[in-house]
A and B are shown apart, each in its own frame.
Chain A
């Protein structure tokens, strides 16, 4: 999100690039530093040329890697998505046009996967934001041991996905799992073990909980930074005017936090649609009966289990399309109401 607004500004300097014009210089530097300076106009072309080749040397390793492993693959994948791709002999691949896309959109397994992924995002994103904001508000007070709390809340964020997925799988085992013990023997809400991992709906309970549990720490740290940027005088002034804590939160904190909340919503939504490892490990990639896929586990299954690379590539492009569309819509919707 920040990158988007940043690049929009950077585009201002586009037309004057390479000319070392005084105007372009002062404009581009006004963004990062307050220093504005006039520079001596360019002396010779030769110097420019030399700078160009120096720049090329600085950029070369990065450009080579980026083109080979990111940009090239991105375009390549687009091409593959129009073929019945042959992984052994790519010359033998057959052009099928939009068939892979049509097949995905008509496939009940794909639609189920989209629904599952959307549900995951719809549940985990608001939950992470509400809980993260709550933790941030609590941490934003004059309390002792703030950094200890911060480290502890951040622990799930930095723990590898594979490991936390296995922990949650273990806790939600049907036989001998901690969750069942807690529900049956301590809370007595059920008198027999719930088979979380064998049911196409219940298996999402550990996956959703894990998504929330792992993300709250990150959300809280970002929200805390947003809270700390709000001048204290705002709160003090309205407290003097007799506003309650809740009223202050509602009418001062929340509106001023809007940019942070937009940022969190967009980033977390993208993350939600890209959820992958927890589902792969907890459902074994779609069990039972391919009912529990997320978009990416289905893509993985199509490509690397069924070796249907064209179909997998089409799925990944559909995912990217969803994600871009949603980011744009969210930014538009949430930006509109920025007053203050």
Chain B
């Protein structure tokens, strides 16, 4: 790494690459196998020896999954839920974070601590009372019921993250606007928000992926077929059609595509978000 003869250096670099590539193979083989299976006709799914390269290959599973099995509806539901939950989480948590970072009010720390409590609660343990609350508010079996819970579950961590971002911007910019007679809301919207855009991006990405992935709450809150999101749709399809793995994986791949797009476009934010807030995917 630092010292050593050129040959030794080359050997150690070779070892590094081999180990990294080996690791990548272990990481990607399951994905590869999923793609291969999604392209196999049903009769070939369990063939021995299993092929990592489908032959014959077909896109029949994709057509079947997207037309007959209403996965496109689940996809749409997931897209609506994840987008709305993301937009609202960004807005609501930015407002809270700004208040904590810049405004003085009685009981500030008490409120902030209660909010932090939300970061330490295992999410699944809230499902029982959330179910009862949602039932009383008529939010079961509705996308709104998913959205409000997803926002709430993300508020703690995202507000905490954004408070740091808001505190990082120099006060002088806001003070100049204050002297010019701008109100707090205007300052928040026009001065502060644009300056924390990287933070907002991190919040948006994590909330979107969370909402796209979320299974436990949707699983108890949604019983109506037409309101299912993708994780529920895929899991239930699999338990109803135990052998039709080709279709299960075709639907899964369709569900992964948005995740990969988001990740590829924003990967530098991912790393920053992880490190600054310690969230786990």
Contact = CB atoms under 8 A, between A and B. Distances in A.
Interface of A: 1-3, 6-7, 10-11, 13-14, 17-18, 20, 29, 31-33, 35, 37, 48, 51-52, 54-56, 58-59, 61-63, 65-66, 68-74, 76-77, 80, 87, 90, 134-135, 138-139, 141, 143, 147, 149-164, 166-168, 170-171, 175-176, 178, 181, 185, 213, 216-218, 221-222, 225, 235-236, 239-240, 245, 263, 267-268, 270-271, 273-274, 276-277, 281, 284, 296, 299-300, 303-304, 309, 312-313, 316-317, 319-320, 323-324
Contacts of B45: 176
B130 A54 contact: no
A112 B256 CA distance: 35
A312 B24 CA distance: 40
B56 interface: no
A161 B216 CA distance: 11
15 contacts: A2-B278, A62-B92, A62-B93, A70-B118, A71-B117, A76-B129, A90-B132, A141-B16, A151-B264, A155-B260, A163-B234, A167-B33, A213-B26, A309-B132, A316-B128
Contacts of A1: 278
B83 to A, nearest CB: 16
Given A70-B152, A151-B267, A274-B122, A77 B109 contact: no
Contacts of A178: 33, 50
A3 B269 CA distance: 20
Interface string B3-35: 100000000010011011001101110110110
B61 interface: no
B116 interface: yes
Interface in B71-123: 92-93, 95-96, 98-99, 103-106, 108-109, 111-123
B281 A69 contact: no
B141 interface: no
A70 B153 contact: yes
Nearest to B276: A2
Contact of B167 (A33, A70, A217): A33
Contacts of B17: 143
Contact of A58 (B103, B109, B170): B103
B278 A3 contact: yes
Nearest to B212: A160
Given A13-B109, A70-B118, A76-B133, A235 B280 contact: no
Interface residues of B, number: 106
A249 to B, nearest CB: 11
B118 A157 contact: no
A13 B31 CA distance: 50
Nearest to A232: B2
Contacts, number: 302
A65 B93 CA distance: 11
Interface of B is mostly: helix
B194 interface: no
A319 B109 CA distance: 27
Contact of B133 (A31, A73, A135, A273): A73
B280 A171 contact: no
B95 A3 contact: no
A76 B132 contact: yes
Contacts of A156: 27, 30
Q: Which 10 A-B pairs have the closest CB atoms?
A: A176-B46, A73-B129, A316-B125, A69-B152, A58-B99, A55-B105, A76-B129, A32-B167, A55-B103, A62-B96
B130 A69 contact: yes
A319 B125 contact: yes
B66 interface: no
Contacts of A236: 2
Contacts of B264: 151
Given A58-B96, A70-B126, A65 B48 contact: no
B128 A171 contact: no
B31 to A, nearest CB: 7
Contacts of A29: 167
Contacts of B37: 170
Contacts of A62: 92-93, 95-96, 155, 159
A185 to B, nearest CB: 7
B62 to A, nearest CB: 15
A153 B27 contact: yes
Nearest to B130: A73
Given A17-B104, A65-B152, A59 B95 contact: yes
A162 B215 contact: yes
Contact of B103 (A51, A72, A245, A324): A51
Contacts of B171: 35, 37
Contacts of B277: 2
A198 B125 CA distance: 28
A316 B129 CA distance: 11
A118 to B, nearest CB: 15
Nearest to A28: B167
B151 A65 contact: yes
A222 to B, nearest CB: 6
A225 B152 CA distance: 29
B179 interface: no
B126 A35 contact: no
B128 A159 contact: no
